[in-house]
Amino acid sequence: MIVVVAPGQGSQTPGFLEPWLEDAALRDQLGAISEVAGIDLIKHGTVSDTDTIRDTAVAQPLIVAAGMLTLSALTAGDRRKHIGAVAGHSVGEITAAAAAGILTDDDAIRFVVERGSAMASAASLETTGMSAVIGGDEVALLELLAELGLQPANFNGGGQIVVAGALDALAKLAEQPLKGTRVVPLQVAGAFHTRFMQPAVAHLEAFAAGLDKHEPTLPIYTNRDGSLIESGEHYVDLLVGQVSSPVRWDLTMNSLVDAGVTGIIELAPAGALVGLAKRGLRGIPAVAVKTPEDLSAAFDLMEANA
């Protein structure tokens, strides 16, 4: 079974969409998405600098739009039939919702614009950040986080947990890391997937109530607990709650293994989830579709698993 996965925030880099937009059809598609979003995503995907595309309100729509473009190229012709399931990491869950037909592309873009704006507003209320902790004992780490007033935000599997909270507490964690761990500060604007994002939840609940939700046309797995979702309404409820709850990508990967995954293809801006798969799903082929040149390897993997 081939599983298509969509990455989350932090995977974008300046100019990453430039090679994709050499295709006139994809450029037109991104132009249409930009109109729905009310944001010039063509500019942000080609010429905007690092600080601009790190802004949560810009980064999240840009990442979802990139996933949509990649998916269009990946499923050209009848290749969609080779996809066995989809899953997304954090904001990538909105890309997955569109891929599975739970939300229309336009509604997915409208939702992510609201999400990015609401999370940016919540992040502005207190100065917070995130760091990746690699290695070490999970139980001991969680105990230390509680002592420091930090929270686990992403359980990524492969020995990586992203933690979030006040910057001074993150600094203490970096200065005196738990034995056997490495702490890497992340370039994000706030403590996402923690209690600090609670103000965004109420806003998104109200917005999501007006969206049309459809039953999934592809099997789709949630970050909440790694489970397979059968109700579009329930999935959108989880998207709202996900903003202030931890991403359990480790459980998502476990579920994919249980379901018989034989290959993973990551949509642009790709790389992070393939890296986690190589550590947490050893032996399962994975392709990061960063540029159009990577499509041939993805097609080969799809054909091999047909």
pLDDT tens figures, 10-28? 889 999 999 999 999 999 9
Q: What is the CATH number of domain 128-185?
A: 3.30.70.250
Tell me the pLDDT tens digit for each residue of 223-248.
999 999 999 999 999 999 999 999 99
Query: Phi and psi dihedrals of 184, rounded to 5?
Result: -120, 110
User: Is 72 a residue of the active site?
Assistant: no
* Six-digit token string for 7: 């990455």
Q: What is the mean pLDDT of residues 190-202?
A: 94
Residue 158 confidence (pLDDT): 83
Domain 2-123+194-301: give its CATH superfamily: Malonyl-Coenzyme A Acyl Carrier Protein, domain 2 (3.40.366.10)
74 touches 26 (CB < 8 A): no
Domain definitions of the chain by residue range: 2-123+194-301, 128-185
| Residue 286 one-letter amino acid | A
Would you place residue 4 in the very low, low, confident or very high pLDDT band (cuts 50, 70, 90)?
A: very high
* Six-digit token string for 31: 């132009």
- Rounded to an integer, what distance in angstroms lies between the CA atom of residue 230 and that of residue 75? 23
* Six-digit token string for 41: 């995503």
Residue 305 confidence (pLDDT): 85
* Six-digit token string for 11: 């995977």
- Active-site residue, from 90, 131, 244, 255: 90
- Rounded to an integer, what distance in angstroms lies between the CA atom of residue 177 and that of residue 160? 14
Would you place residue 281 in the very low, low, confident or very high pLDDT band (cuts 50, 70, 90)?
A: confident
212 touches 228 (CB < 8 A): no
- Say whether pLDDT at 306 is over 80: no
Q: What is the mean pLDDT of residues 200-211?
A: 96
DSSP one-letter code for 21: G
User: Is 131 a residue of the active site?
Assistant: no
- DSSP assignments along 102-153, one per residue: SS-HHHHHHHHHHHHHHHHHHHTTS-EEEEEEEES-HHHHHHHHHHHT-EEE
- Rounded to an integer, what distance in angstroms lies between the CA atom of residue 292 and that of residue 105? 21
Tell me the pLDDT tens digit for each residue of 135-185.
999 999 999 999 999 999 999 998 899 999 999 999 999 998 998 999 999
DSSP three-state, residue 305? coil
Count of other CB atoms within 10 angstroms of residue 143: 12
- Active-site residue, from 44, 82, 89, 193: 193
Please state the length of the chain. Answer: 306
